[in-house]
Structure 1
Amino acid sequence: MRVNRILLSVALVVVALVIQVSVLARLHLPGAVPDLLLLTVLGLALVYGHVGGALVGFGAGLLADLAPPADHAAGRYALVLCVIGYLAGLAKPDNGRLRSATGPMVVVVGAAIGTTLLYAGVGALVGDTAARHVGLPSLLFTASLYDLLLAPFVVPGIMALARRAENDPLADTNSAAKSPDISSGWLSSGTGLRIGGQRNALRMKTARARMARAGRIKGVKRL
């Protein structure tokens, strides 16, 4: 990943985790907790693609596993967000622009359901049965509802920041200033090819004109 991607991803993930732990987790909403960290990973994955989404998801999940008051095994949420970031990155549009909000909303709902199921499944493998006591259907419904309501205020902003970091004009200027010889070399070689092609074309036209004149003179002599 590029340096600007890493810096932006780290900053957004840290801010999202702090808001989620200090604000959203203390709202005591029924069912699940709005997952701002998941929405941040989704927004970055829709811009960076499946590889970037997997890397950002793993880093964000690992940070959430280590941040207090985490009460589960380290690496559990990192695995979940790594898989979700990879799958969400597969939905990245080819031109980088979303035609409508339907696609991202479907991605958010699918990610909320998939995250809850994967988290509960991994917990069952390690002996954590908390999801059974809370009720998995209610967790799926509330997680999808909260994330869907929060997504329009988070995902577009995350994607806009990621696109702006990708199209950094300062980086383009620096890269262009570092390689003036390469561009000039390509230009000079291209110009030389064009001049050589024009000279060859003029020579061919001159030869054809001479042959045509010779044919006409011979024809007059035969008459």
Structure 2
Amino acid sequence: MRVNRILLSVPLIVVALVIQVSVLARLHLPGAVPDLLLLTVLGLALIYGHVGGALIGFGAGLLADLAPPADHAAGRYALVLCVIGYLAGLVKPETGRIKSATGPMVVVVAAAIGSTLLYAGVGALVGDTSARHVGLTGLLFSAALYDLLLAPFVVPGVMFLARRADNDPLADTGSGGKASDISSGWLSSGTGLRIGGQRGSLKMKAARSRMARAGRIKGVKRL
């Protein structure tokens, strides 16, 4: 990943985790807890693509696994957010611009349901059956509802910051492969035009001089 992406993603993930643990988790809402960390990962993945989304999701999930008061095995949520970040990055538009809010909202609902199911599934593999006692249906509905209500206030802002970070002129040029390729292509094409123009002008001048000389010779012969 680019350095500017890391410098943006780390503070966003840390702030989202702190707010989720210290504020959202203490609201005692029925069902699931609004997942601000998941929404932050989705916003970054929709701009950075599937590779960036997977890396950011894994780092965010691992941080959530280690942050108190985590009561599950380390790496469980890291796996969930890694998969969700990768899948969300696959729907990144080619231009990087999202014209309608329908697409991101569908991604949020699918991510909320998918992350809950995947988290419960991984927990069942390691012997955690708490999802059965709470009620999986209620968890799915509440997770999708809370994340959908919170998404308009989080995802657009995260995506805006991610775009601004990518357009930063102080970004690392060594890792910006596409930018360097485009700039080098412009430079090479511009140089080619200049060289071609110089060659063309030299050829035109040589042709004109030849025609002038030929005219002078013919005129001398006529005389």
Normalised TM-score (structure 2): 0.84
Q: CA deviation at 1:139?
A: 0.3
Find the partner of 1:199 among 202, 214, 217: 202
SS in 1 for 2:88: helix
Q: Which residue of 2 aligns with 1:74?
A: 74
**Range with bigger deviation, 191-200 or 100-109:** 191-200
Residues 130-177 of structure 1: per-residue CA shift (max 9 Å, x gap):
00000000000000000000000000000001110110134499x9xx
Q: What TM-score does the superposition give when structure 1 sets the normalisation length?
A: 0.84
Rounded to whole Å, the distance in 2 between the matches of 1:127 and 1:92 is 35
Could you give the per-residue CA deviations for residues 97-128 of structure 1, whole angstroms, max 9, x where no partner exists?
Answer: 10100000000000000000000000000000
* AA aligned opposite 1:196: R
Gapped runs of 5+ residues in structure 2?
177-183, 215-223
Inter-partner Cα distance in structure 2 for 1:78 and 1:34 = 17
For the residues of structure 1 that align with 2:63 and 2:155, how far apart are their CA atoms?
20
**Cα deviation digits, residues 10-54 of structure 1 (max 9, x gap):** 000000000000000000000000000000000000000000000
Provide the residue aligned with 2:97 in structure 1: 97
Structure 1 unmatched ranges of 5 or more: 176-181, 212-223
Structure 1 segment 154-193 matched on structure 2, within 5 A:
154-171=154-171, 186=188, 190-193=193-196
Partner of 2:16: 16
> How do 1:1-223 residues align onto structure 2 when only pairs under 5 Å count?
1-171=1-171, 186=188, 190-201=193-204, 203=206
Number of residue pairs matched by the alignment = 206
Quick one: structure 1 residues 209 and 101, their matched pair in 2 at CA, closer, same or farther if it must change by over 3 Å? farther
**Does 16-25 or 89-98 show the bigger shift?**
89-98
SS of 1:169's partner is coil
Indicate if the aligned counterparts of 2:49 and 2:90 stay in contact, CA closer than 8 A: yes
CA offset digits 1:46-82 (Å, max 9, x no partner): 0000000000000000000000000000000000000
1:201–1:114: structure 2 CA closer, same or farther, 3 Å change rule?
farther
Secondary structure at the residue paired with 1:95?
Answer: coil
The amino acid across from 1:101 in the alignment is A
- The SS at the match of 1:28 is coil
Alpha-carbon distance between aligned partners in 1 of 2:25 and 2:167, rounded to the nearest angstrom: 35
Using the TM superposition, name which of 30-39 and 90-99 deviates more: 90-99
Alpha-carbon shift at residue 192 of structure 1 (Å) = 2.5
C-alpha separation in 2, matches of 1:190 and 1:152: 48
Q: Quick one: percent identity of the two aligned structures?
A: 77
Q: For 1:93 and 1:134, how far apart are their aligned partners in 2? A: 37
Answer with 96-105 or 189-198: which moved more. 189-198
* Alignment-derived partner of residue 219 in structure 2: none
Kindly provide the CA deviation profile for residues 160-209 of structure 1, in whole angstroms up to 9, marking residues without a partner as x.
01110110134499x9xxxxxx89x8555642332113333555688799
CA distance in 2, matches of 1:10, 1:59: 9
Tell me how large the CA RMSD over aligned residues is. Answer: 2.8
